[in-house]
Amino acid sequence: MHEWFQTPPGRCLLAWEQSRFDQAVIDVFGYHALQLGLPEVEGLRTNRMQHRWLATDDPACKAGGALVTDFTALPFSANSLDLVVLPHALELSHDPHATLREVERVLVPEGRVVICGLNPASLWGMRQWRARLWGRLGFGELYLPDSGDFIGYRRMRDWLRLLSFEVESGDFGIYRPAVRSEAWLERYRWFDTLGERWWPIFGAVYFLVAVKRVRGMRLLSADWRRAAQRASAPVPIAGKVHRGHHPHRTRQRQGKAS
C-alpha cells in the first residue's frame, strides 16, 4: 500500500484521510496515544498528548522511531492508552478481529479509537472487484492495493459493538469515479459534493470514531474529594439532643438561679 499512496488516487485518498484525522484527534486529551500502521498518514500530528507512538508490523518500515510489533500482541499494559488510531490497520492485518480486541484491551475506559478503511460498496470498490474478476480470466489491472481484505462499514460497526465500543461518529468521503489520471480526478471533484448529499454511504473511504464503554463504571468528577469529605462530616440527627444541652432545661436552671 505504500507504493499505491504515490499514485494520483492514493494521494487523493491520503489528503482526505489526513484532514479527517487532524480534526478527529485535536481535542482528544490524555497522556498516551498510539498509531498502528501506515506512517504515510500522520494520524496523531495535531494531537497534544505527551506520549505518542507509531507502531508498525513491517520490519522494513523506514519511519524513524517506529515501534515494530505484532498488532495482535501490543507491548502495552491493559487500560494504559487514551487514544489509538488505525489508518487501514485492520484491513491490512492478518487477523483483524484479534487486532481490534487488542486495541480494546490497551485502551482506558472512555478511551477512543479512530478507524479508517476502504469501502467495498463504492465506485472504487466496485472497480476493484471487477478488476479481480477479470484478473482471474487473465486480464485486468487492480485499481486499489491488492494487499488486505476490505471490511464493510456496517460490519466494522458490528465488530465494535461486540467489544462494547460505542460509535461516536461515522463519515464517508471521495465519491469521484475510479479514474487514474490526476487531472480527471480533479475534474470529477464535484462528485464529492453530490455524493455527500444523495448517496452518502457509498464513499470510497469511511471514517469512524468510537469510545470504549465499561458497563457498571461511573467516572468520578474533579471535585470527588470534596464530595467525600462532605459525606463523611458528622450530621446532627433531628429530635435527638444530648443531656445537659437541652435549651428548655437550660432556661429553667437559669430561672431558678435568679
At residue 17, the pLDDT reads 96
49 in any annotated domain: yes
Confidence of residue 4 (pLDDT cuts 50, 70, 90): confident
Better-predicted residue by pLDDT, 225 or 17: 17
Q: Which of 52-56, 62-66, 72-76, 137-141 has the lowest mean pLDDT?
A: 137-141
Residue 226's pLDDT is: 52
184 inside domain: yes
Structural domains in the chain (count): 1
Hey, which residues does 53 pair with through a beta bridge? 34
Residue 102 counted as domain residue: yes
| CATH code: domain of residue 53 | 3.40.50.150
- Starting at the earlier edge strand, list the strands of the sheet with 81-87: 67-68, 51-56, 32-36, 81-87, 107-118, 205-212, 165-173
- Say whether pLDDT at 73 is over 50: yes
> For residue 95, is it within any domain?
yes
DSSP state of 115: E
Give the residue among 1, 42, 38, 4 at the shortest CA–CA distance from 20.
42
**Structural domain includes residue 193:** yes
For residue 176, being part of any structural domain is answered with yes
Specify if 246 maps to a domain.
no
Residue 249: predicted pLDDT = 47
Domain that holds residue 192: 4-212
205 alpha carbon, distance to own chain's centre: 15
d(CA 83, CA 47): 10
pLDDT digits (tens, 9 = 90+) for 34-61: 999 999 999 999 999 999 999 998 887 7
- Give pLDDT, residue 108: 97
pTM of the model: 0.79
Q: Is the pLDDT of residue 142 over 80?
A: no
Distance CA 190, CA 58 (A): 37
Tell whether 218 is covered by a domain.
no
